[in-house]
Amino acid sequence: MIKRKVKINSFYGVRLPGTMKDEKIWYEVNEKSAKYLLVLGIIIIFVSALFYFSAVFSSTVSVIIMTVIVLTGVVSLAIFALIITNRLSKLK
């Protein structure tokens, strides 16, 4: 998605009404969302490694923290994608 090679489809990518109707919006929103997910993935890997190699928190607390990070990341991505899609749709 970062390289803008995946065409509009019903199975993969940010599939909102605005992205499905316009190829320019599709590529823009999916590129930004993919970059966001890449950063989120790096954060998750870093925090997971931190929890694994240091016994700072119990396993229960570590799982709760990781769950909060993942859920916050996914919800904020959904909001981010909606905002970008709406903003780009209004510019047309």
Contact 92, 22 (CB under 8 A): yes
Contact 77, 37 (CB under 8 A): yes
- Alpha carbons 70 and 65: distance in angstroms, whole number: 9
What pTM value is reported for the model?
Answer: 0.86
pLDDT of residue 15: 95
Consecutive 10-residue averages of pLDDT for the chain (92 residues)? 91 94 95 96 95 86 95 97 95 80
pLDDT of residue 79: 97
pLDDT of residue 55: 80
- Alpha carbons 23 and 59: distance in angstroms, whole number: 45
pLDDT of residue 58: 86
